Amino acid sequence: MIVLAIVLLLAIFLLPNLWAKWVLARHARGRDEYPGTGGELADHLIRRLGLEGVRVEMTDQGDHYDPEARRVRLSRENYEGRSLTAVTVAAHEVGHAIQHQQGYAPLLARSRLVVVAQKAEKVGALLMMAAPFLFVLTRLPGGLAIVVAAAVISFGTAALVHLVTLPVEFDASFQRALPLLKEYLPPRDLAGARHVLTACAFTYVAASLASILNLGRWLVILRR
């Protein structure tokens, strides 16, 4: 029974990320018939849509849109790649730039929350590590509980960010990127593009579950 529970938990936490990686890899094969790379499509869309101040850059930090710098950042394989994954991911990230230009409220809220969550997660890690020592030093029965509660809130904030991110990602994928891709991709590739766009969002499902798993791991450590 315990083994089954462990297998089930691992499946819940790992499958979304594994599925997303499988989908992205499945459609990463080079397509010579495509007129440009992911980076070139992103640059073209930015100019076509008049997204002033937005630029495209290659990064080793993963595909993302930086609202502060107004940069669409693509991994090397998607920036230089001429594949369904490359052009679809590029369109997805441009979708975030469109959201930003239009003042899409959930994106702006997420950007503010990300800053808070990054600080809260660091504080949470420190509190988790310091909790047993603080309890010994203070000798207060409720001292440990207070510190653990603060740490739970800190780690929980990270999970909340990823959950809030989901509607932002789906909007960028299916309300912004997909209508654009329909103008550039052959009809036979649209089903694959939808799968890639879904995978882009599911990476945040995996990240949210990972945050929850990390919180549980620390709680187990503290109970020892």
Phi, psi of 128 (to 5 degrees): -60, -45
Q: What is the DSSP letter of 168?
A: H
Catalytic one among 52, 68, 93, 183? 93
- Spatial contact of 75 and 24, defined as CB atoms under 8 Å apart: no
Cα–Cα distance list, 105 to 36, 99, 117, 154, 204 (Å): 32, 8, 18, 24, 19
- Spatial contact of 83 and 37, defined as CB atoms under 8 Å apart: no
Active-site annotation holds for 93? yes
Could you give the count of Cα atoms lying within 13 Å of 116 in the half-sphere of its Cβ? 13
Q: What is the DSSP letter of 29?
A: S
**Active site (catalytic) residues:** 93
